[in-house]
Structure 1
Amino acid sequence: MKKSITIIIAFLIFTSSFSQTKLGNPEVDPIQIQKSYTEWSVYQNKNIMLSRDFTALDSSSKEISKEAFLNQLANGNFIPIRLKSEDAVYYYKLFKILPKTDTSIKATINQIGFDAYKNYKMEGTAFPKFSFKDLEGNLVSNESMKGKIIVIKCWYIHCTPCIKEFPQVNKLVEEYKDRKDIIFMSLAEDSAEQLKIFLARKPLSYSVIPDMKVYMNEALQLNSFPTHFILNKEGLISKVLPNFESLEVALAKESKL
């Protein structure tokens, strides 16, 4: 019996060590990346997608929940870095922000973490009741959308990042045009008159619902744009996303469920 236990323990240690070998070093130097706000910002925007599924590690490399990870980003003194790995899983680890680091980096990370934490807490909840008419006069509501995946883009005319991703989201609509169970709609702050003039120059393939500023502020409590929602066929929020890149990944996953 003792021999069997010894073999089992040895096997567990071996498999644990093997598992750990899949995780490599940080893909960027955590110290070097903090020396320039611009360099850090480029890395953050291209490589850290907090809305996606990932394995979260604290500063001591201990696995923690995504909720705890985002909470530490929002309220702590950490910078997230992706680790190199041999599998397809994303591993994000927290590294301490150094005392001499530009305070703008910490402030921005805290805001990013706050937004990501807030978005994460909305997942699995019911999307607030709505019944609106789009620019074409079509009525859209929770009831009329039952049994469908709904992709919602929240934006306004003077939001540069919102407009910049128009070509990408239009391409996404084209990609899913044969999926009758996927609906693309957008909520815009601006009036119908303003939107019609603007969209004549900058087409958007989503159905567009005007005058949504109060709804987005009060019902959705949005404080950053663009914000994308994916609702599942039960009307629950599957994902809340800050940009096209994360939307594309999340929709690909949701569309296969």
Structure 2
Amino acid sequence: MKNLIKSIILLVFLIVGLSTHAQGYDLNDPNLIFKDNKGNIQTREWVSELFKKGSVSVRQKKNTDGKTEMTFNLISKKEVEENKKRESDGIEKLKNTKFPDFNLSTVDGKKVSNKDLEGKIVVFNFWFTTCGPCVTEMPELNKIAEKYKDNKSVMFIAPSFEENEMIKKFLKRKSFDFKIVARSTELNKKLGILSYPVTIITDKMGIIKEVIYSGENIIEKLDKFLYENI
């Protein structure tokens, strides 16, 4: 059997009494044990297929041998919306506050930090390669990036928590015309980002002005903000 392609998938943890958390995991990690909601051990392929069917919750616990058990379960649209609202309420509080400090690198090795963004309006699109809605909205985002590509007062940045290798493989088959930034996990945590994609717009002072989720007329909102603020 051919070796599995190393991949990272977003796992959404719904932990009783706590807020929702998200983190990237390597499905080939030998220290991970995958189970369905009946306790049956499952394969990596099963996990990948489950994520294609809809939103998934994952509960984790450590075994005595140090391995991590992950139990997967499909969640309803109602649960998804409730979790999204909790997250949205948290991120909405960031409006009119300073965007967090960061120092990251693009997939081609160029450094990007807050200092590089001074005096510019910045459109941040937080995404990852196996996120269906992220990929779906890329053609529209590319249109906006193309429209403003000659305007030096605007920057389009797309942070992903994934590693360079995975992102580069993705970009060989899909076009995304933003400045792609890898390994953004800490920045995502600072912002409280749990679901993807989400777009954050900052003004020329680095203040967060807009938070836009997938499907919320993103192109119209982006175009309107840029037209009114450039």
- When residues 122 and 246 of structure 1 are mapped into structure 2, their CA distance, relative to the original with a 3 A threshold, is farther
* Paired residue type of 1:186: A
Name the SS for the 2:168 alignment partner.
Answer: helix
Task: Check conservation: 1:119, 1:241, Cα contact below 8 A.
Answer: no
- Tell me, yes or no, if the aligned pair for 2:105 and 2:181 is still in contact at 8 Å: yes
Distance 2:216 2:77 in 1: 22
Aligned-residue sequence identity (percent) comes to 30
Q: Structure 1 CA distance, aligned partners of 2:169 and 2:144?
A: 23
1:252 maps to which of 220, 223, 228: 223
**Whole-angstrom CA distance in 2 between matches of 1:157 and 1:106:** 25
Matches for 1:188-199 after TM superposition, within 5 Å: 188-199=160-171
Quote the residue 1:156 is aligned against: 128
Indicate the residue corresponding to 1:222 in structure 2.
193
Q: Structure 1 length as normaliser, TM-score?
A: 0.55
Partner of 2:93: 121
Q: What TM-score does the superposition give when structure 2 sets the normalisation length?
A: 0.61
- How many aligned residue pairs are there? 153
Which residue number in structure 2 is paired with residue 110 of structure 1?
82
For 1:68-147, list aligned pairs within 5 A: 107-147=79-119
Distance 2:136 2:125 in 1: 13
Per-residue displacement from partner, 1:64-94 (whole Å, max 9, x unpaired)? xxxxxxxxxxxxxxxxxxxxxxxxxxxxxxx
More helix by share: 1
Paired residues of 1:153 and 1:185 also in contact (CA < 8 A): yes
Name the CA distance, whole Å, in 2 between partners of 1:206 and 1:215.
Answer: 17
2:181 equivalent to 1:209: yes
Unmatched segments (≥5 aa) in structure 2: 1-75
Larger radius of gyration: 1
**Distance in 2, Cα, partners of 1:115 & 1:137:** 31
Q: Distance in 1 between matches of 2:77 and 2:146?
A: 38
Q: Distance in 1 between matches of 2:126 and 2:112?
A: 15
CA distance in 1, matches of 2:140, 2:210: 19
Q: Are the aligned partners of 2:145 and 2:177 in contact in 1 as well (CA < 8 Å)? A: yes
Q: In 1, distance between residues paired with 2:94 and 2:127?
A: 19
Shift of 1:248: 2.1
Instruction: Name the residue aligned to 1:94.
Output: none
Matches within 5 A, 1:161-180: 161-180=133-152
What is the rounded CA distance, in whole Å, between the counterparts of 2:89 and 2:180 in structure 1?
Answer: 28
Q: Residue 159 of structure 2 aligns to a residue in which SS? A: strand
Kept in 2, the 8 Å contact 1:169–1:244? The answer is no
Paired residues of 2:91 and 2:193 also in contact (CA < 8 A): no
Quote the offset at 1:138 in angstroms. 2.0
C-alpha distance in structure 2 between counterparts of 1:140 and 1:105, whole Å = 37
Greater share of residues in strand? 2
Q: Is the 8 A contact 2:91 2:191 kept in 1?
A: no
Post-superposition offset of 1:206: 0.5
How many Å apart are 1:172 and its aligned residue? Answer: 1.2
Return 5+ residue gaps in structure 1 as ranges: 1-103
Check the 8 A contact 2:140/2:219 in 1, yes or no. Answer: no
Is 1:232 aligned to 2:206, yes or no? no
Shift of 1:183: 0.3
